[in-house]
Amino acid sequence: MMKVLIADDEKHVRDAIKMLADWDEHGVTGILEASDGQAAVELIAEESPQIVMTDMRMPRMDGTKLLEWIKDNRPDVKTIVISGYDDFELVRHTIRSGGLDYILKPVDPDALNEALEKAVEAVRKEALQDRLSTRQNMELNRMRPHYADKLLTDLIGGPGGKEELARQLRDEFGLPDSAGSCRAAVISAAQLDHEVLDKFGQMPELLYFTLINICNEVLLSGQKGIAFHHLGRPEEIVMLLWDETMPHQAVLENIRQGIDLTLHRQVHIGAGSCLPFPQGTAASYQEARLALWRRNALSGSGWLHADAPQPPKPLRLSSHEESFRLAALSGSAEKIGAAVDAWMSRVGELGAVTPEQLEQWNAEWDWMLKQWMDHNDSPSPDGPEKDALLELPRSLPLDPQGRLSFPLWKAQYEGRLTAASRMLTQRHSRENHIIYDIAAYLENHYAEDISLQDMAARFFLSREYISRRFKQEFGVNISDFLAGVRIEKAKLLLLNPQLRIAQVAEMVGYQDEKYFSKVFKKQEGQTPNEYRKEQAVR
CATH number assigned to the domain comprising residue 209: 3.30.70.270
List the 51-54 sheet strands across, edge first: 28-34, 2-7, 51-54, 78-83, 101-104
Residues 460 and 518 in one domain: yes
CB 427 within 8 A of CB 471: no
Q: Is residue 256 part of a domain?
A: yes
Per-residue pLDDT reduced to its tens digit, 323-380: 998 888 888 899 999 999 999 999 988 888 999 999 999 888 888 887 787 654 444 4
Number of separate domains in the chain: 4
**What are the strands, taking DSSP E only, across 211-369?**
225-229, 236-241, 269-276, 304-305
CB 436 within 8 A of CB 496: no
Measured distance CA(372)–CA(442) in Å, rounded: 31
Residues 294 and 258 in one domain: yes
Residues 420 and 442 in one domain: no
Report the mean per-residue pLDDT for the chain: 85
- Angle, helices 162-173 vs 109-155, to 10°: value is 140
- Its domain, for residue 467, covers 434-536
Domain end call among 397, 424, 451: 424
Q: Is residue 145 part of a domain?
A: no
Residues 405 and 471 in one domain: no
Q: Is residue 134 part of a domain?
A: no
Residues 414 and 466 in one domain: no
Domain end call among 424, 454, 470: 424
Mean pLDDT of the region 435-446: 88
For the purposes of burial, counting CB atoms within 10 Å of the CB of 538, is it exposed (0-12), middle (13-18) or buried (19 or more)?
exposed
Instruction: Give me the DSSP letters along 182-230.
Output: EEEEEEEGGGS-HHHHHHHTT-HHHHHHHHHHHHHHHHTTTT-EEEEE-
Measured distance CA(428)–CA(422) in Å, rounded: 8
Q: Which range is least confidently modeled, 157-171, 184-198, 464-478, 483-497?
A: 157-171
Measured distance CA(493)–CA(503) in Å, rounded: 9
Q: Is residue 242 part of a domain?
A: yes
Residues 254 and 114 in one domain: no
Residues 410 and 442 in one domain: no
DSSP 8-class letter at 500: -
Residues 200 and 293 in one domain: yes
**Cα torsion 300, 304, 307, 311: sign:** positive
Q: Which range is least confidently modeled, 103-117, 164-178, 186-200, 275-289?
A: 164-178
Residues 172 and 191 in one domain: yes
pTM for the structure as a whole: 0.56
Confidence at residue 470, expressed as pLDDT on a 0 to 100 scale: 87
CB 188 within 8 A of CB 235: yes
Domain end call among 394, 424, 454: 424
CB 473 within 8 A of CB 435: yes
In the chain, the amino acid numbered 90 is: L
CB 52 within 8 A of CB 77: yes
Measured distance CA(485)–CA(255) in Å, rounded: 49
Q: Is residue 91 part of a domain?
A: yes
Say yes or no to pLDDT of 423 above 80.
no
Q: Is residue 142 part of a domain?
A: no
Confidence at residue 240, expressed as pLDDT on a 0 to 100 scale: 93
Longest dimension (CA), the chain: 107
Q: Is residue 136 part of a domain?
A: no
Per-residue pLDDT reduced to its tens digit, 233-254: 989 999 999 877 778 899 999 9
Q: Is residue 415 part of a domain?
A: yes
In angstroms, the Cα distances linking 134 to 124, 245, 352 are 15, 41, 56
pLDDT band at 150; cut points 50, 70, 90: confident
| Phi, psi values for residue 18, rounded to 5° | -60, -35
Residues 490 and 454 in one domain: yes
CATH of the domain at 445: 1.10.10.60
CA-based angle 103:108:109, to the nearest 5? 115
Residues 95 and 58 in one domain: yes
Mean pLDDT of the region 441-445: 90
Q: Distance between the two ends of the chain, CA-based, in angstroms?
A: 69
Higher pLDDT, 436 or 341: 341
- Angle, helices 11-20 vs 109-155, to 10°: value is 70
Confidence at residue 528, expressed as pLDDT on a 0 to 100 scale: 92
Residues 414 and 442 in one domain: no
